[in-house]
Chain A
Amino acid sequence: MANNDEIENLFRNLPKSPEFSELERKRQEKLIRSYVADMEKEEGLKTNSTLKRFQSQFSLAAGFIVLVAGVSFASSQGIFDSKDDLVISMPNPEKPSTGSETSEGVDQENSGTSQTPKPTNPDGVEEFESGASNQSDVDKFINNTGLDYLSDTQKAKQLVKISASPLLISELPQAYGKCAIELGINKELLGIDKGKYDGTSVLAFYYGDSRSTASIWIVEKPCIKLENL
């Protein structure tokens, strides 16, 4: 059995790699400068696109205001006062039903589904929306145990539902997907759990090949790494 000194010696006697050449150092410096320059460009692009989005939203809003002002001006001038115009623009709830519409109505009454009526459209025909949830499969693997990963890691590991195969990042909420990419685990992400770490609210990203070998990244919002378990 190795004693403390042997373990310390093992570390102390580890071989070092030879010093880097001046050429290698210069190469690293160059790499740093180009990496940071790329980063600056990216940030610049992001800022520009945010500005463009703001500008287009602003022009849309301004256009809407002009339209509303125009309409109210026109109505104050009595341009839309014609009764014929009013009749044409109103929906007609008293419109005689055709045979096909009646049978549709019966079908809807008898179907017993959780369909819920939406307000009628301008033609007086009801539109329906299915009550079935569009919840994606990925949602099953976004857990919310609330457990503290500093003290209850084992319990959390047992409770958390994780997928047998890697999750599709595109189906995750954007912030989670982005964080998984930042952590470099986007191709092996198996599940996410909302929990605590030493009392702080965190997300636990489970990744790896399977439950037994999965590792966990504990991150604080927005995606600050705290611990890798």
Chain B
Amino acid sequence: MDRYQHGDFDALAELAITLLPKLEMMARRRFSDQSLAIEATQEFWIKIIKNAKSFKHDSKVQTWAIQIVNNAYLDLIRKERRSKIEFDELSAVENNANFSNEFSEDSVNEITIRSALRSIPKDQAAALTLVLMDQFSVEEAATILGVPAGTVKSRISRGKDALRVKLEEKNRLPGNQKHV
């Protein structure tokens, strides 16, 4: 990172390539569809490259990169809001006999989680994804987010409450009672 900030672009490319396995893993955890995971990986390294100039050397590069990737994921799913499946649309999909075979319960859960994550405050969603999806400890998540561990705990707790409400709303929709 130092080398890039002193004008060495090859060093930036090397850094992004070194981070690729980590980015791939985070993308695969977030999207079960491989083409989406590939797209997300690409979006992740673009964000890292674009933000590299503003890296302030106050954390490890990997910690900084994970935060950027997690934010990029939350931005991606927020952008989906206008174009992809919402709770009510999901319900319609599930009730549609033509599509019922194409949506496994797992993928319905994935869509449900994504819908719920984009409808709760971003700081809570960020803490939830790092701890529950990526399995980071609260302390590690605190380092990544640059906040005290207590703040992460309270964000997770509030996030779970908010998610519970959102999932409950979803369950009230016809055809969705079985998933949570």
Docked complex: B126-173 residues within 8 A CB-CB of A: 128, 132-133, 160, 163-164, 167-168
Besides the known contacts A11-B113, A14-B32, 9 further A-B residue pairs in the complex with CB atoms under 8 A apart = A2-B163, A2-B180, A3-B164, A7-B164, A7-B167, A15-B32, A16-B32, A40-B9, A227-B122
Interface contact B20-A25, CB-CB below 8 Å: yes
Complex Cα distance A31/B38, Å? 12
Interface contact A224-B45, CB-CB below 8 Å: no
Interface of B is mostly: helix
B22 close to A (CB within 8 Å):
no
Interface contact B167-A14, CB-CB below 8 Å: no
Complex Cα distance A3/B17, Å? 40
Docked complex: A1-51 residues within 8 A CB-CB of B: 1-4, 6-8, 10-20, 24-25, 28-29, 31-33, 35-37, 39-40, 43
Residues of chain B within 8 A (CB-CB) of A20 are: 24, 28, 34, 37-38, 41
How many chain A residues touch B (Cβ–Cβ < 8 Å)?
39
Which residues of A are at the interface with B, using a C-beta cutoff of 8 A?
Answer: 1-4, 6-8, 10-20, 24-25, 28-29, 31-33, 35-37, 39-40, 43, 182, 209, 215, 224-225, 227-229
Docked complex: B6-63 residues within 8 A CB-CB of A: 9-10, 12-13, 16-17, 20, 24, 27-29, 31-34, 36-38, 41-42, 45-46, 49-50, 54
Of all chain A residues, the one with the shortest Cβ separation from B23 is A28
Smallest Cβ distance from B70 to chain A, in angstroms?
12
Interface contact B106-A13, CB-CB below 8 Å: yes
Complex Cα distance A224/B133, Å? 26
Residues of chain A within 8 A (CB-CB) of B128 are: 11
Interface contact A19-B75, CB-CB below 8 Å: no
Interface contact B27-A224, CB-CB below 8 Å: no
Of all chain A residues, the one with the shortest Cβ separation from B7 is A43
Interface contact A2-B167, CB-CB below 8 Å: yes
Residues of chain A within 8 A (CB-CB) of B74 are: 228
Complex Cα distance A225/B32, Å? 28
Of all chain B residues, the one with the shortest Cβ separation from A223 is B54
B71 close to A (CB within 8 Å):
yes
